[in-house]
Structure 1
Amino acid sequence: MTRAGNHRATQEAAMRAPSDRAEDNPAVAAKRWTFVMTWFMRILSILWIMKGLSAWAIILGIWTPIGHFESRSMGYQSTIIYFALIDLIAAVGLWMASTWGGIMWLLAVLSHLILAAFFPGIVSGGIMTMAFFLTLVAVYLAVSWLAARGG
Structure 2
Amino acid sequence: MHHDSVHVPKPSLTEVLFGWFLRLVSVICFWFALNYWAMLIGFSHGGAGRFDLLSPEWRAAATALAVVYPVAAIGLWLLVSWGPVVWVVAAATELAMDKFYPGIFDSRPLLVLLHGAVAVTFVLFRAALLYQRLREARKVRVDSP
Question: Structure 1 length as normaliser, TM-score?
Answer: 0.74
- Counterpart Cα distance in 2 of 1:137 and 1:125: 20
Alpha-carbon distance, 1:130 to partner: 1.1
Alpha-carbon shift at residue 108 of structure 1 (Å):
1.0
Where does residue 111 of structure 2 map in the other structure? 129
Among 55, 63, 77, the residue aligned to 2:59: 77
Gap change, CA 1:103 and 1:68, over 3 Å in 2: closer
CA distance in 1, matches of 2:115, 2:64: 18
- Residue in structure 1 matching 2:81, options 86, 95, 99: 99
Provide the C-alpha distance between the structure 2 equivalents of 1:119 and 1:145, rounded to a whole number of angstroms: 33
| Structure-2 residue corresponding to 1:35 | 16
Identify the range of structure 1 (110-119 vs 42-51) with the bigger mean alpha-carbon deviation.
110-119
- Say which structure is richer in helix: 1
Kept in 2, the 8 Å contact 1:113–1:125? The answer is no
Structure 2 Cα separation of the partners of residues 145 and 131 of structure 1:
21
Aligned: 1:51 with 2:51 = no
Root mean square deviation of aligned Cα: 2.0
Bigger relative CO (Cα 8 Å, ≥ 6 apart): 1
Structure 2 unaligned segments of length 5 or more: list them. Answer: 1-8, 134-145
- Name the CA distance, whole Å, in 2 between partners of 1:107 and 1:67: 26
Compute the displacement of 1:128 (Å): 2.2
SS in structure 2 at match of 1:47: helix
- Count of aligned positions: 124
Q: Percent identity?
A: 19
Alpha carbons of structure 1 residues 78 and 53: separation in structure 2 relative to 1, 3 Å = same
Larger radius of gyration: 1
Amino acid at match of 2:83: G
1:107, distance to aligned residue in structure 2 (A): 1.4
Gaps of at least 5 residues in structure 1 are 1-26
Distance (whole Å) between structure 1 residues aligned to residue 26 and residue 103 of structure 2: 26
TM-score by length of 2: 0.76
Instruction: Point out 4+ residue stretches in structure 1 off by more than 6 angstroms.
Output: none
Cα displacement (A) at 1:105: 0.7
Greater Cα offset, 45-54 or 66-75: 66-75
